[in-house]
Amino acid sequence: MTRAQAAVVDTVGAPFTLQEIELDRPGPNEVVVRLVAAGLCHTDLSVQAGYLPFPLPGVLGHEGAGVVETVGAAVTRVKPGDHVILTFTSCGRCQACGSGHPAYCATWPSANLLGQRADGSKTLRRGTQELGGRFFGQSSFATRALCDERSLVAVDPAVPLHVVAPLGCGVQTGVGAVLNVLRPKYGCSLAVFGSGAVGLSSVIAATWTHAGTIIAVDRVPERLQLAGDLGATHTVNAAEQDVAAAIAEITHGRGVDHAVETTGNTAVLRGAVDALAAQGSCAVVGVPPFGSEVSLDVNGLLSGKQVIGVTEGDSLPETFIPFLVTQYQAGRLPLERLITEFAFSDIENAARAVHAGEAVKPVLRFDTA
């Protein structure tokens, strides 16, 4: 058994508390990673709040980055000493995985959200009590994580792991929604609803495309300022402006060719779809509580509008994450503008900063804990 310090959530609504846990021995396709950093995502907080299913008590965290310590007998993707970014897992065998779309893996919910291996065994324990683990194949809110091999992507050891940790989920989601799904054509318009880490990543990605008009919508002036700094051509403060009227004015009444909805607010999603031009498309990446529904104007959809659900930017992590790393190294993906660092032991303050809108992307540093 490998021991680790982990931020455990005991029950819905309970805080993250640092506790000693034990990791099971790695199976044939599993890897033990020593964490250097982990991003804190709204999805982690949604599970903590009970909006998304995951067995508690358990260990969350799904934007880890660290160094491989031990590998299972059948592992071929990484070796001890490799620097890795942790992301979601998938089976690698189903039709979606075989066609390059592992985010839509047939086993995705069970592999990423059930807190256990496919055979029902647990990977984490606190004394004699089993814990929910393998969150997104990793459970990286711990000094060490027992990960599925398919959750790991090796990266250049010269890259600062605490900076690139958010590539595992939030950044690849925002960038991928634009590059992999919407694929803006020359001169088109794109509106991003929500200027958190995912939304700002979408804004950055839009600047790499042929989009001529990039609109950022949010309620926090500081985030809108950052969106403008990162490439948004227009910003709309939803707390002060009529968003529909503002977008109509910017697009001369036509509407936007593309939208990215990142907030998980169903009213905002309805507004994003309504703001589309004929044949426009809306990528839905925000995650509301399970069971949420939204009403749409069906006649409006008949103008060729598309509403596309997107998980993890529809990315193939083993190629997309290295691409994002090269963009960071080239100075085209300014991740430092998005992150605020916290010691791992300060995880509760990091969560508070997210709820208060004070931090776009908290990153927990294990080497400062």
**Cα separation, 182 vs 195, whole angstroms:** 18
**Cα separation, 316 vs 20, whole angstroms:** 34
pLDDT at 239 over 80: yes
Q: Is residue 318 part of a domain?
A: no
Q: Which domain holds residue 204?
A: 171-311
CATH of the domain at 276: 3.40.50.720
Q: Is residue 108 part of a domain?
A: yes
CATH of the domain at 113: 3.90.180.10
pLDDT at 292 over 80: yes
Tell whether 157 and 187 lie within a shared domain: no
- pLDDT confidence tier of residue 96, bands split at 50, 70 and 90: very high
pLDDT tens digits, one per residue of 261-282: 999 999 999 999 999 999 999 9
pLDDT tens digits, one per residue of 333-362: 999 999 999 999 999 999 999 999 899 999
- pLDDT confidence tier of residue 232, bands split at 50, 70 and 90: very high
Percentage of the chain surpassing pLDDT 70?
99
Tell whether 104 and 207 lie within a shared domain: no
Mean pLDDT of 28-55: 96
Q: Is residue 204 part of a domain?
A: yes
User: Of the residues 292, 311, 330, which one is the last residue of a structural domain?
Assistant: 311
Mean pLDDT of 315-319: 97
pLDDT tens digits, one per residue of 108-165: 999 999 999 999 999 999 999 999 999 999 999 999 999 999 999 999 999 999 999 9
Q: Is residue 66 part of a domain?
A: yes
Tell whether 261 and 158 lie within a shared domain: no
Tell whether 163 and 214 lie within a shared domain: no
Q: Is residue 323 part of a domain?
A: no
Tell whether 137 and 231 lie within a shared domain: no
pLDDT at 65 over 90: yes
Tell whether 11 and 160 lie within a shared domain: yes
Question: Which pLDDT does position 257 carry in this prediction?
Answer: 98
pTM of structure: 0.96
Q: How many domains does the chain have?
A: 2
Tell whether 288 and 346 lie within a shared domain: no
Tell whether 88 and 29 lie within a shared domain: yes
Tell whether 44 and 78 lie within a shared domain: yes
Q: Is residue 320 part of a domain?
A: no
Tell whether 110 and 69 lie within a shared domain: yes
The position carrying tokens 């208060």 is 356
Q: Is residue 285 part of a domain?
A: yes
Nearest to 275 by CA among 234, 225, 228: 234
**Cα separation, 62 vs 133, whole angstroms:** 11
- pLDDT confidence tier of residue 315, bands split at 50, 70 and 90: very high
Tell whether 185 and 288 lie within a shared domain: yes
**Cα separation, 116 vs 108, whole angstroms:** 13
Tell whether 24 and 164 lie within a shared domain: yes
DSSP structure string for 95-136: HHHHTT-GGG-TTHHHHHHSSS-TTS--SEEETTEEEB--GG
pLDDT at 369 over 50: no
Mean pLDDT, the chain, integer: 97
Quick one: CA torsion of 162, 75, 110, 9, rounded to 10 degrees? Answer: -40
**Cα separation, 356 vs 158, whole angstroms:** 34
- pLDDT confidence tier of residue 328, bands split at 50, 70 and 90: very high
Q: Is residue 256 part of a domain?
A: yes
**Helix, strand, coil fractions of the chain, as percent rounded to 5:** 35, 25, 40
Mean pLDDT of 167-196: 97
Question: Which pLDDT does position 367 carry in this prediction?
Answer: 77
